[in-house]
Structure 1
Amino acid sequence: MSETSQRPLLFRKSSYSANTANCVEVAEVAATHGVAVRDSKNPGGHISFTSAEWHAFVSDLKSDKL
């Protein structure tokens, strides 16, 4: 069973995105405790990250490593 058939993904975009068309949206994936990420211009597809991968990515962003 796919993650979307278990529970629909509820994507949201950052409040920093304002009303622009070039946004990244994220959703919690309850089945895996991970995060799904998609381009707001292509809502039909997404990539998924584990919780550990997502937290490492956000940590690196906050510390200016990326």
Structure 2
Amino acid sequence: MPDISGWRKSSYSSQETSCVEVGRVHSGAAVRDTKNRAAGYFTTTAQQWAVFIDAVKANRFD
């Protein structure tokens, strides 16, 4: 298992429990569901994460 540090969720989520959290791993990011943290997480490379963030900022998921 990778060493994951700094799990956090968006400040826009406030006290919501239906969110995702992102943690830092050596090679990129880890993502998990706050409703079911025990279900695990998936990881992405730094390049995959950057492409995803760029797509979110460009509203490609609206």
Give the gaps of 5 or more residues in structure 1. none
Identity of aligned residues (%): 38
Give the gaps of 5 or more residues in structure 2. none
RMSD: 1.2
**Stretches (4+) displaced over 3 A:** none
Distance 2:49 2:4 in 1: 20
Q: Which has the higher helix share?
A: 2
User: Please, what TM-score do these two structures have when normalized by structure 1?
Assistant: 0.81
Count of residues in correspondence between the two structures: 60
User: Please, what TM-score do these two structures have when normalized by structure 2?
Assistant: 0.86
| Bigger radius of gyration among the two | 1
Q: Which has the higher strand share?
A: 2
